[in-house]
Structure 1
Amino acid sequence: MKDATRLTRIGRPDHASGLVNPPIERGSTILAPSAGELYDAPPGRPHYGRVGLASQQALRSALEEMQGGAFCALTSSGLQANILSILTVCEAGGVLLATDNIYGPVRSFLTNTLPRFGVQTRFVAPDIGAEIGDHMDTDVQAVLLESPGSLTMELQDLPTIARIAQDKGITSIIDDTWSAGLTLKPLKLGIDLAAQALTKYVGGHSDVMLGAVVARTDALADRLRATERAMGFYAAPDDAYLAVRGLRTLELRMQRCADTSLQIADWLATLDCVGAIRHPARSDHPQHAVFKRDFSGSAGLFSFEVPGWRNADSETFLDALEIFGIGYSWGGFESLAIHCDPQLRRSATPARHEGALIRLAIGMEAPEDLIADLERGFAAVAAKG
């Protein structure tokens, strides 16, 4: 297992050409040098293109180093990364615990598809901590976390949950897309599998679909590797190359987005029409102490409440924006805004907020321009009456 550290040689290949970037190798068939090695390739020599070539291996190695993990599996999306992590450890007859703020498409997989594999899901409070032990019956095989949740921004007490899960022989999994594995080190806190959508901050330019899962221990690495291979998960070489490139500027871009997001959150807090600001890095977030303990920095994704607004008001607000785009995902240059209420689903706890819930994904534009754009949206709602 490698130590989690800041990266200084991301993706730099070790070969005689001297290139600072990994080469993009496209290929399916890899010829064996002899019949004996066709079925018994030596360690380090790929035997088929699906297992990954130079750019995929550079990305795996970089993410293993970044997280301090034993093995990194690659997938073609963040959703697939979550699915891979679940299928690595869950078996028929078992139960998965999942926090109630889990990403919508993952929730859909848990409720609509996973039961076909004989695995049931029970949802727990999105801000759960030590009380999760009360839900860990003998049939529970894994717990799936998302801290903070990408819409409602609740955090979980990760070190406590990880410790309880380990004591009970239960695998802990986190969707760590919000921090991109940079400002949070889940494996160092004891979480077993860290999944994320590289599509977002790591890719960084809204032009790649990619996911990753990093395993904490050698034993989990073996299970993750075997499941990745058996189920045919794959990441394209060009996409892996783009993710390696994105990693090199990740820290700078995330810091810029985080700083701007706090400026905008502070400005929103001055408006009479705005209610609670759901930004974990702000001191008024209910779990800010947990954030300060577990995270080394922030990100650009947060939400805010607007008491009295209905869905039609949210749509008027969004339609008036000219700089913010209306779209899913985050992590690119462009700032994005969505209204969350149509997609909120809860079963363990109700979604508690006043009026409408708006999510902002802050990009790289000037803060003053983004604030002026938001003013335009609020003015449109006010003019509508």
Structure 2
Amino acid sequence: MDLSYILNELGEDRELYFNAVSPPIVQTSNFACKSVAKMREMLKNEPEVYFYTRGNNPTVTILEKKLAALEGAEHAIAFGSGIAAVSAAVLSQVKAGDHVVCIKKPYSWTNALMQKFLPRFGVEVTMVDGTDANNYKQALKPNTTLLYLESPNSMTFELQDIAAVVNIAKAHNCSTIIDNSFATPLFQNPLALGVDLVVHSCTKYIGGHSDAMGGVICGKRETINRIFEGEFMTLGAILSPHDAWLLLRGLRTLPVRMERIAATTQKVVAYLHQHPKVEQVYYPFLETNPQYELAKQQMRNNTGQFTILLRTNEIEKVDLFCDSLKHFLMAASWGGHESLIYPMAAAYNSANYKSSLPFNLIRFYIGLEDADYLIKDLEQALAKV
């Protein structure tokens, strides 16, 4: 299916809403029925009809159709946040007594789900270094039902060999879920490599404007319908029609934004990689990265996140560098028009620092600014360290 068709036409039946170029925000909680027979029919077929916005909504449906098509999926279901989508996807694949193998150092709230939440309900979780697919195999138990991936994973951006992990899962009758937020559907399509479910935080690149939150699960129609009837309808973590509309707006410019972000990031990374005050750059598409060939094999292009290890053992110098940046906002998340930093030092307390990551790690996200504009800012901040 052509990318331009997906982004601009798929799911948009404009004749149904006055031929408006932009789809309407169907801001309603209920959809009325003209007869008992009609209500009976709608209740029977709720996964496919509009009855109650906590289930389906026309504005949300347009977004779901586009996201499914971008991932090459049969169907998709949208949520109010990325972690809502992750949680529902995982819960749909496990029950008490099951075992999950998960990538080490995933997104922080995915980590909380795996390490704190699932064990409360009798689900055992083993965290593994996913840079070697064999670690997934070695962690398998007779009760393993799910292998969870996040490639690249958070903060240090190690990759998993997706096809290799899928082969292990299929050989042992396990399902697979991957968080594909980093790469976007434009640059990586895990379903094509055999993954069962793909999740995204739509808050990031898909929205692209730092003004809406959302998540999505993409997969086979049968699986998505089962999640709809179970975890989605029961837990109620729905995406609002207004946020769905904002995410649709973001999708229109996704290819242009990602092309710009990818090109700018390459230039900024090249500058930082050679800088004497930067000890290491964590970035999948750096040629010195031992996983560089795997990155090129699995992903069609780089995106805007990378992390640097500042060459200092003094937290005061990390603070000084970060505080000296004039054109990078200090904030969580990523994927919008603005460049950001997230310093691990912000979580550092000398008496109680619990993270396994060093305090001199700083995650960057590159937005839509000019590369030279950002590099000049980095240069003046690094000069102070």
TM-score (norm 1): 0.91
* Structure 2 Cα separation of the partners of residues 236 and 356 of structure 1: 38
Aligned ranges for residues 65-214 of structure 1 at < 5 Å? 65-214=69-218
Residue of structure 2 equivalent to 1:268: 272
**217-226 vs 192-201, which moves further:** 217-226
8 Å CA contact 1:301–1:360 kept in 2: the answer is yes
Aligned match for 2:252, one of 222, 226, 248: 248
Residue of structure 1 aligned with 2:327, choices 323, 327, 334: 323
Quote the Cα distance in structure 2 between the aligned partners of 1:225 and 1:164. 28
Match of 2:287 in 1: 283
1:342, distance to aligned residue in structure 2 (A): 6.2
CA distance in 2 between partners of 1:7 and 1:129 (Å): 36
What's 2:367 paired with?
Answer: 363
User: 1:238: how far off?
Assistant: 0.7
Q: How is 1:215-234 mapped onto 2 (pairs within 5 angstroms)?
A: 215=219, 217-226=220-229, 227-234=231-238
Cα distance, 1:234–1:263 mapped onto 2, change above 3 Å: same
Give the equivalent residue in structure 2 for 1:60.
64
Q: 1:151 to 1:117 in 2, by over 3 A?
A: same
Stretch of structure 1 that moved more, 131-140 or 302-311 = 302-311
Q: Is the contact made by 1:130 and 1:157 (CA closer than 8 Å) also made in structure 2? A: no
Paired residues of 1:141 and 1:171 also in contact (CA < 8 A) = yes
Residue 37 (structure 2) aligns with: 36
Contact 2:14–2:23 (CA under 8 A) maintained in structure 1: no
Q: Which runs of 5+ in 1 are unaligned?
A: 345-349
Q: How far does residue 15 in structure 1 lie from its aligned partner after superposition? A: 4.0
Aligned-pair Cα RMSD in Å:
2.0
Amino acid at match of 1:116: R
- What residue number does 2:26 align with? 25
**What whole-Å deviation, never above 9, does each CA across 1:151-183 have from its counterpart, x for those lacking one?**
011000001101211221111111111012220
Which moved further from structure 2: 117-126 or 150-159?
117-126
Q: Aligned match of 2:3 in 3, 6, 9? A: 6
What is the correspondence of 1:330-341 to structure 2 with a 5 Å cutoff? 330-340=334-344
Provide the residue aligned with 1:347 in structure 2: none
Contact residue 94 and residue 140 of structure 1 kept, 8 A = yes
| Contact kept? 2:179, 2:198, Cα under 8 Å | yes
Contact in 2 for aligned 1:151/1:340 (Cα 8 Å): no
Aligned pair in 2 of structure 1 residues 100, 341: CA closer, same or farther (>3 Å)?
farther
Contact 1:101–1:154 (8 Å) recurs in 2: no
Query: Per-residue CA shift, 1:77-126, capped at 9, x if unaligned?
Result: 11111111111111111111111120111111222222222212110004
**TM-superposition CA deviations, 1:209-256 (whole Å, max 9, x none):** 1111111x3442233222212322210001001111111111110111
- TM-fit CA distance, 1:316: 1.3
Give the distance between the partners of 1:11 and 1:93, measured in 2 at CA.
45
Q: CA deviation at 1:282?
A: 1.8
The change in CA–CA distance for 1:127 and 1:343 in structure 2 (over 3 A counts) is farther
1:208·1:242 contact (CA, 8 Å) conserved in 2? yes
Q: Contact (CA 8 Å) 2:206, 2:247: kept in 1 or not?
A: yes
Q: How far, CA to CA, are the matches of 2:330 and 2:232 in structure 1? A: 34
Length-normalised TM-score, structure 2: 0.91
CA contact 2:321–2:381 (8 Å) conserved in 1? yes
**Identity, % of aligned positions:** 29
- Judge conservation of contact 2:319–2:345 (CA < 8 Å) in 1: no
Give the partner amino acid of 2:331: G
> 1:352 Cα shift?
7.8
User: Could you tell me how far 1:360 is from its partner in structure 2?
Assistant: 0.8
Residues 192-221 of structure 1, C-alpha deviations (whole Å, 9 max, x = no match): 111111001010010011111111x34422
Structure-2 separation of matches of 1:23 and 1:352: 45
Letter in 2 for 1:363: G
Aligned partner letter, 2:53: G
Query: For the residues of structure 1 that align with 2:103 and 2:39, how far apart are their CA atoms?
Result: 45
Structure 2 gap ranges (5+): 349-354
Partners in 1 of 2:54 and 2:357 — Cα distance? 45
